Each structure stands twice: as C-alpha cells, then as structure tokens.
Chain A
Amino acid sequence: MNEERKEYWRWAESRWTNPEISDWQGRTITAGVDIGSTSTQAVILVDGELFAYSNMRTGSDSPESANHAMAWALEGTGMTLDDLQYTIGTGYGRVNVPFADKCITEITCHARGANRIYGPSVRTILDMGGQDCKAIHCDERGRVTSFMMNDKCAAGTGRGMEAIANLLGVDIGEIGDRSFQVEEEPKPVSSMCVVFAKAEVAALMRSGWSKEMVLAAYCRAMAIRVCKLLTRNKMEPDFAITGGIAKNKGVVKRIEEIMGVTALEPQGYDTQIAGALGAAIIAIDMLKKKRARGG
C-alpha cells in the first residue's frame, strides 16, 4: 500500500516562449509578476509583444515564488533578470517581488491584461482567482471605471474548487466536462463556505448522488455567487473571465446561462496570466515616464 496518493486538485503548471521573437537585444523589455494566493505568473514583453511567461503554484515564501516564476519564464531564452528594463509586481504578494520597480494592484492589472487578451471591446471582467473574486468594469483602454470584490471569505473561488476536486477524486481539469454529464441540472449546493460545502457534498454522496451531479451542483452554486457580484457592479454584454476558473467550463457556461451573455474568447492567451500581462503592459508606460524624467 505504498502507492502515492494522487493530488486531484493539482493543476498543470506551464511555461511558454514566443518562437517568433529571437532578436530581443536592444528592444524594450518589460515584465510583470503576479503573486496570487494560489498561483504565481511571470510575463515578459518585448516591445509590448508577449515573449515568454510562466505559471506555477505560489509557495509559502512570496519573494521565492517571484524568483522561481521569473527564472522559469527566462529559462532557455538567453535573457537574464538584468535585461528586464522595468518590472511591476502585482497580486497579494506584490510588495514582495524582489526585482520589481513598482507594485500595482491586481485590479488595475487585470483590466489592462483583459484588454489585451480579449480586445478593446471588453467592458465587464470577472477575475476568478484562487481565494478571491473581482468584478471589474473598464473602458476601451483597459482603465478601471468601477470594481467590486467578494468580502472576507474564499468561498466560490479556485481554492474551493480544488478542495472539492480532492474530496471527490476528480482531476481538476475534468470538472467542467463532467459537471455536464447529468440528465437534469440539480439544485446548487446550499452552503458556499468551503468547509460546510465539503460536509454537504459528503452528505449528498452518501444519499446516492453521482460525482457528476455533485460537480454540477457545486459549479452552479459558484456561478450563482459570482453572478451576484457581477450584478452589483456593472454588467455589460462584452464580458470576459480571467483567472484559473476561466478554464472551468462547468462554471463559465453556467455564468453565461444565468447572465444571458456569452463570454469573449481569450484569443489564444492563457487566462491565468491576465494580471501579470497587465502589469507588464503598464510597465511600458512607466518605463517611458522614467525615461522622460531622465531616469
């Protein structure tokens, strides 16, 4: 019985380098690092174009997470930390990015990142992160015009979904598809507190519910919760979702159904890098200002 216990919640970490950019020397190089409660991303831009990124779990030490994420993004590119001309830290750990020139909140950064990922028509952004959720409204340049965050509790966020994946023994990447394998949509789980929801889920399983029914009930409950947040802020049809939960069709489709909208497509970008990408874009403006001041 020495078989290693599978961690169903563990989503795939990733990195990417743009094969079309090789001559980065002498060009404007900016970076963004988003240290969230659950995941950390590092994004590098060359003249504003996406050059490389990494996406990994946040460890217990924020500066170390930032260093690791950036080292992985730089890996194999020939670029070093010294080549980054301006770096912005964002996310909960934004003040702990050792090599950052400035830190900016993830709300501002996500809006700018979503503007790039989904195009300038996007107005309403739902950022579903590891332990919080934000409804953001922005203008055509990705500037925030209003925002609202969930209060106090991590319920209805990525961490809750991870806990349910582990409890049910379903890989986190399969939750979306499997939540639709039900004959009829069940009622949502009533408790959104992760601890209570786990107890409720266990009770549902004992009463004979299939895993698919439980997943459908949990995804619906999460969708209902975030839709309330969207309604309280400013909801427009040009709507996009960023963050890890944007990859979960089970939640996304149900949000679309409840709100009567279709979420914009991410045009090939990883939705989890929105914050770091926005930070790297803002870094271009900051670098220009710095140079204008003679810095």
Chain B
Amino acid sequence: MVNDSNAESYLSPFSCSFCRGCFEHFLDGTYDFLNGFIASDGCLQPQRVYDNWKNYLKREDDFCYQFNTPRVYDEAALGMYRQELADLKHAVERWANYVTNDKLIEAIKVYNETRRLLRELYALRKGDAPLVTGEECLRITLASMSMRKDTFNELLSAFLEEARQREPITDYRARLMLIGSSCDSPEYLKIFEDKGGLFVTDVNCYGSRYLYDDVEIDEKDPLAGIARSYLARPVCGRMCNLHHELRDTILEMAKEYNVEGVVYTKMKNCDMWGGESFFLDDAIRDAGLSLLILEREEITANAGQVGIRAEAFVEMIETGGAD
C-alpha cells in the first residue's frame, strides 16, 4: 500500500492504518471483485470499517456483516461464539444458499488439509539451512487466505515438492521471528532479509495462524467444533485471559525454530499489541532472545529507517551482544 489518503477522509489518521488500508482498497476499487465483507470486532477499528463499508456499499445485493468475537475463553464465551457462528451461517443462507452440516464438515476437511500442508511448509524453515524465506512464506500464507482452499492445496503441494529440491539458504546472519500486529506486507520482511536476517517463523495473523491444531470435526454440531478450536488458540492479543498462553506459544515456537531474535512490530495506534508488551518484552529477553520493537504502519514509506534498525539488529545478534 502506498497511499490511504481517501480512507483518511472517513477514518481518522489516529486509527489503525491496516484498517484504513482495507477501506482505501474498498474506495479505490481494488476490492470490487468481492461480493461480501465480514468484519469482526476483535478490536474496535474493523467496526468502523464495517460502518463505512455498509454505508457506502457499492452494489445493493453485496453481503456486509458484523461478526462479534469474544475476548475471553470460557464456557460462556464458547456458547456466545457458537451462537455468533450460527447467526453468520443464517445470514449467509439468507443471502446465498443453505449451509448444511455436510457442506460444513467437507469444508473443515479441506481447511484442515491446508493446515497440514502449511505445517509442512513451516517445517522447511526449521533446520540450519531453511528452504524458504520469510518473505516467500508470507506470500504463500496470504495466498491461502485469498483464494479457494482446494485450489490452494493443489498449488502448495506442488510448491512443496519443488522447494525440497532447492539449494538451501545458508548465507543468512540471524534467525528471526515476527510477532505483533497483523502484518500482510512481505516487503516489510524483505527489508530484514535483505540485511542478512532470515525469518524462520512467526506469530502473525497472516502467517502461522493455520499451524495450530486441526479444527475438530463434530459430526452433530460442526459449528461447536469450529468454536472450540478457534477460540482456544492463543493467537490474538485481544484474548484477555490467554496472555500467558500467547507468551508461552511465542517462546515455544522460538525454541522449536531455533530463533535468535524476535521482531515485535506494533501497528501504530494498536492498543492490543501495544499492551501485550507488558506480558512479552521481559519474557522474551529472559529467554535469551534479542528483541527489536518497532512501530509500523501499513504504508511502508520509511523502508530506509526500518532498514537501519534491521541491519543493527542483525549485527547485534551476530556479535552475540544479547544479554
């Protein structure tokens, strides 16, 4: 994204630039191929996008829906989440076609196959000589979220076969992990990788979220299975009673992938990942990992400034300066 000035007329410059970017693409026609938009209230900002999107809907019969997501994990929240999924299902049925249990179970199986393949993709990054860069991996996971999963599964299977025959990457200087606010910008990762860093894993909405356990198939009530699987994942800073689980997930993943440095990006004005610092910063340093905290905006206009921080961070890891 290079410009979000149109969206700034609707959403304050003090809002999340990722959300502004989404609305900019609605305004500039990039998203005209979409027939529907579902916003979740994981944080406040997508709600404002929903308000504007609904108000300026381009075609009368387009689908526009606000999905409410719990911010705690407990029995009551599970019930509420299950109900929200049922409401969404009914809304989709009113707009398009019936969503039967059989169709849901079939879709869960296809999605679980995506998860299995993405786990294989991430496994290619574990060893001393990884086969894919972080930038490439993010491009692949982004594709998984913007195309039909069955088509994606075929393409990823072919890619994995090809990738296993590649020359491994051995000329990197530091093994990095990306955490923090949603990052859908492979270019951002490339800034670090051009400076000698190599992202080997992440805890990022657009990256490793599919790595978690398969969604359980509840034959009688597939929506309940989806609710249980999704809500228990310690993947999002919005979950008020899963902070320690999120921290542990990050540390375990760092260990599993032999990470040396964590790049913690916070979207400017992101309350959730901004506040998560309280739970994460010391824990990451105490685990012997180097930590770089950077504020980010969806528009990568300061690549040079990020570059110098990236280069210095790689040097810091390389010279063994971490505590």
Which A residues form the contact surface with B (CB < 8 A)? 92, 104-108, 138-139, 143-149, 151-152
Most chain A CB within a 10 A radius of its CB, from B295, B315, B322: B315
* With contact pairs A108-B316, A152-B302, A152-B305 given, residues A143 and B321 touching in the complex (Cβ less than 8 Å): yes
Q: How many residues of B contact A (CB 8 A)?
A: 18
Asked whether B323 lies within 8 Å of A108 as measured between CB atoms, the reply is no
Interface-forming stretch among B6-14, B41-49, B218-226, B306-314? B306-314
Partner of B308, one of A105, A139, A148: A105
List the A residue with the shortest CB-CB distance to B321.
Answer: A143
Which B residues form the contact surface with A (CB < 8 A)? 285, 290-291, 293, 295, 302, 305, 308-309, 311-312, 315-316, 319-323
Give Cα A106–Cα B308 distance, bound, in whole angstroms.
Answer: 9
- Expressed in whole angstroms, the minimum distance between the Cβ of A214 and any Cβ of chain B is 30
Contacts of A106 in B (CB 8 A): 308
DSSP majority for the A interface?
mixed
> Can you list 26 contacts pairing A with B, beta carbon distance less than 8 Å?
A105-B315, A107-B312, A107-B315, A108-B312, A108-B315, A139-B321, A143-B316, A143-B319, A143-B320, A143-B321, A144-B312, A144-B315, A144-B319, A144-B321, A145-B316, A145-B321, A145-B322, A146-B285, A146-B290, A146-B291, A146-B316, A148-B293, A149-B308, A151-B295, A151-B305, A152-B305
Contacts of B295 in A (CB 8 A): 151
- Expressed in whole angstroms, the minimum distance between the Cβ of A208 and any Cβ of chain B is 36
List the A residue with the shortest CB-CB distance to B297.
Answer: A152
Contacts of A104 in B (CB 8 A): 315
* With contact pairs A138-B321, A139-B321, A151-B295 given, residues A144 and B316 touching in the complex (Cβ less than 8 Å): yes
List the B residue with the shortest CB-CB distance to A285.
Answer: B319
Give Cα A144–Cα B305 distance, bound, in whole angstroms.
Answer: 18
Asked whether A105 lies within 8 Å of B321 as measured between CB atoms, the reply is no
Asked whether A108 lies within 8 Å of B291 as measured between CB atoms, the reply is no
Asked whether B312 lies within 8 Å of A147 as measured between CB atoms, the reply is yes
- Given A143-B320, A147-B309, list of 16 further CB < 8 A pairs? A105-B308, A105-B311, A106-B308, A107-B308, A143-B321, A144-B316, A145-B316, A145-B321, A145-B323, A147-B316, A149-B308, A149-B309, A151-B295, A151-B305, A152-B302, A152-B305
